[in-house]
């Protein structure tokens, strides 16, 4: 399968800054072999989607609510994101889980809603420092994906992001990342069957930089990377994506 490279800007970039970024990154990604995704702030989705049209770059959001609509002040619905031009949405990012207290149950409902409303869900999972990777991955994947119908599961993307590696400069070793990916693939296989599980890209995230991205993506088990801090600079992000063979 084609490798996937996702940039997650988090709470960075105004619309004006996003526009300058796209102007720079689009020509740099012209010959890129990876599937490139950018998770941008809500306010920048429409402008980025317009600029990314026809380039093959997917634009998406970093979160959403599980309800179709309703009295949820400050929340945003999948259909609103879709109409603004989003193709995908990050769900269950560790900052949502651990800073904003989102549960597996809530995240699971969002995954189902995203699929219903035609957004690709990028489900993030990962253990905190000291936790057992396999146990946490198994629990999070099962709880967040149990309500996903088999026939929809091929649309999912999963990102393994050890919480201790996010924004810390500490990266999982290639062996640790590969092992975790094998666990993810096994659980996906249990849930949806091996054939469907094989179609779901499983990415690695956590302090991915231009100097380690190539090695991570050279691993057969690792289908791509989710890049936070290093995606904020268009040249660095394009270098990471260009490293994909
Ligand atoms: P980082 O963030 O690359 O800055 O560690 C990754 C993420 O939060 O998805």
pLDDT (tens digit per residue) in 14-63: 999 999 999 999 999 999 999 999 999 999 999 999 999 999 999 999 99
Supply the pLDDT for residue 187: 98
Supply the pLDDT for residue 244: 73
Mutate to test the pocket of ligand 1, among 37, 209, 210, 229 (most ligand atoms within 8 A of CB): 229
* Domain count of the fold of the chain: 1
SS (H, E, C) the chain: CCCEEEEECCCCCCHHHHHHHHHHHHHHCCCCCCEEEEECCHHHHHHHHHHHCCCCCEEEECCCCCCCCCCCCCCCCHHHHHHHCCCEEEECCHHHHHCCCCCHHHHHHHHHHHHHCCCEEEEEECCCCCCCHHHHHHHHHHHHHCCCCHHHHCCCEEEECCHHHCCCCCCCCHHHHHHHHHHHHHHHHHHHCHHHHCCCCEEEECCCCCCCHHHHHHCCCCCEEEECHHHCCHHHHHHHHHCCC
Nearest to 155 by CA among 189, 105, 111: 111
Supply the pLDDT for residue 243: 79
Write out pLDDT tens, residues 177-222. Answer: 999 999 999 999 999 999 999 999 999 999 999 999 999 999 999 9
**Domain interval for residue 41:** 4-242
Q: Is 85 in the pocket of ligand 1 (CB under 6 A)?
A: no
Is the pTM here over 0.75, yes or no? Answer: yes
Nearest to 159 by CA among 180, 173, 176, 175: 180
The rounded Å distance from CA 227 to ligand 1 centre is: 5
Rounded average pLDDT over 64-73: 98
Is-catalytic flag, 161?
yes
Rounded average pLDDT over 92-96: 98
Q: Is 189 in the pocket of ligand 1 (CB under 6 A)?
A: no
Sign for the CA dihedral angle at 107, 111, 113, 117 comes to positive
Residues 6+ apart with CB under 8 A from 111: 91, 121, 123, 144, 145, 147, 148, 156
The rounded Å distance from CA 205 to ligand 1 centre is: 6
Q: Is 240 in the pocket of ligand 1 (CB under 6 A)?
A: no
Q: Is 66 in the pocket of ligand 1 (CB under 6 A)?
A: no
Which one of 102, 127, 161, 181 is the catalytic residue? Answer: 161
Write out pLDDT tens, residues 108-163. Answer: 999 999 999 999 999 999 999 999 999 999 999 999 999 999 999 999 999 999 99
Task: Tell me, rounded to whole angstroms, the distance of Cα 194 from its chain centroid.
Answer: 22
Is-catalytic flag, 151?
no
Indicate the angle between helix axes 234-242 and 15-28, nearest 10 degrees.
30
Residues 6+ apart with CB under 8 A from 33: 2, 3, 244, 245
Contact status, residue 9 vs residue 231, Cβ threshold 8 Å: yes
Alpha carbons 127 and 12: distance in angstroms, whole number: 25
The rounded Å distance from CA 28 to ligand 1 centre is: 22
Take atom 8 of ligand 1 and give the residue whose Cα is closest: 228
Take atom 2 of ligand 1 and give the residue whose Cα is closest: 228
Q: Which atom of ligand 1 is nearest to the CA of 159?
A: 9
Q: Quick check: 245 pLDDT over 80?
A: no
What CATH number does residue 205 fall under? 3.20.20.70
Alpha carbons 97 and 104: distance in angstroms, whole number: 8
């Amino acid at each position: 399968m084609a490798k996937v490279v996702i940039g997650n800007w988090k709470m960075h970039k105004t619309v004006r800054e996003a526009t300058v970024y796209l102007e720079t990154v689009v020509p740099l990604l012209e010959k890129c072999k990876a599937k490139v995704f950018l998770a941008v702030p809500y306010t920048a989705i429409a402008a980025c989607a317009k600029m990314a049209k026809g380039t093959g770059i997917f634009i998406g959001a970093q979160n959403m609510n599980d309800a179709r609509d309703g009295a949820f002040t400050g929340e945003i619905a999948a259909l609103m994101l879709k109409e603004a031009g989003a193709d995908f949405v990050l769900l269950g990012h560790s900052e949502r889980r651990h800073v904003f207290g989102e549960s597996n149950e809530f995240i699971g409902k969002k995954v189902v809603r995203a699929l219903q409303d035609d957004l690709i869900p990028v489900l993030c999972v990962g253990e905190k420092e000291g936790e057992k990777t396999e146990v946490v991955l198994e629990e999070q994947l099962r709880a967040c994906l149990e309500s996903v119908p088999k026939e929809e599961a091929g649309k999912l993307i999963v990102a393994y992001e050890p919480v201790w590696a996010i924004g810390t400069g500490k990266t999982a070793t290639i062996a640790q990342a590969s092992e975790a990916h094998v666990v993810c693939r096994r659980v996906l296989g249990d849930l949806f069957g091996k054939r469907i599980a094989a179609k779901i890209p499983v990415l690695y995230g956590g302090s991915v930089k231009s100097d380690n991205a190539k090695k991570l993506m050279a691993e057969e088990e690792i289908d791509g990377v989710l890049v936070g801090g290093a995606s904020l600079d268009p040249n660095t992000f394009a270098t990471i994506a260009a490293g994909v063979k």
